[in-house]
Structure 1
């Protein structure tokens, strides 16, 4: 029962501001052994984030209104592109290594409308 309550509380944890999300990006980048990217928040048409090969991570500010677990999934997904550029087998292996529940988080994220779709 305690496990369920903890999970439910965790699901509803939200970001306090964009600085907290920036800090999370730095922590994940360090954990994953990739260069800490330059970060910008910008409204996007049909995706939550994007990572450029030159090291820019763009995140849709709507992520700040969602549960942290979903924002962290987008962060890890985009940082994984620095390790494996496409969504192939290697990419998914990295996702499993750093976020074993990534598929569950991705499914939850799909429950939200894509930005300005």
Structure 2
């Protein structure tokens, strides 16, 4: 039995299709979290996976496109939650747990990649 097509389908399901898919995820999460993202841009970043300004400009590292979706999703949710809570205190962690119960595991996995 040839499992190659199945393997390819599974990989495609766990990887971002393209930049538009990543941006769509941002829009879906911003609706869910009820925050406004005014601009989404992708670009190379040397030290971060993502950043967001207080005005709602989200920048995502293009390297996220090569990582599993759940790690990119973590980066998106992390930045969007910063629109609710500017620091990484208890309230921030509560929001993260509410939206992504496994966020700490995803964060550790993402830290395993060089960004």
Task: Work out whether the TM-score is over 0.5.
Answer: yes
- Give the structure-1-normalised TM-score: 0.86
Helix, strand or coil at the partner of 1:53: coil
- The aligned counterpart of 2:111 is 110
Structure 1 consecutive aligned stretches of length 4 or more whose deviation exceeds 4 Å: none
- The aligned counterpart of 1:18 is 19
RMSD: 1.3
- The aligned counterpart of 1:99 is 100
Deviations 1:35-54 (A, max 9, x none): 13310011111110001001
- The aligned counterpart of 1:78 is 79
d(CA) in 2 for partners of 1:57 and 1:27? 14
Instruction: Answer yes or no: is 1:66 the counterpart of 2:48.
Output: no
Matches of residues 4-15 of structure 1 in structure 2 within 5 Å?
9=10, 13-15=14-16
Deviations 1:11-58 (A, max 9, x none): x71000000010000000000111133100111111100010011000
Asked whether the equivalents of residues 15 and 65 of structure 2 are also in contact (C-alpha less than 8 Å), the reply is yes
Q: Report which of the two structures shows the higher radius of gyration computed on alpha carbons.
A: 2
d(CA) in 2 for partners of 1:110 and 1:22? 22
d(CA) in 1 for partners of 2:76 and 2:38? 11
Helix, strand or coil at the partner of 2:112: coil
Instruction: Answer yes or no: is 1:53 the counterpart of 2:20.
Output: no
- The aligned counterpart of 1:90 is 91
Asked whether the equivalents of residues 30 and 36 of structure 1 are also in contact (C-alpha less than 8 Å), the reply is no
* Structure 1 runs not aligned, ≥5 long: 1-8
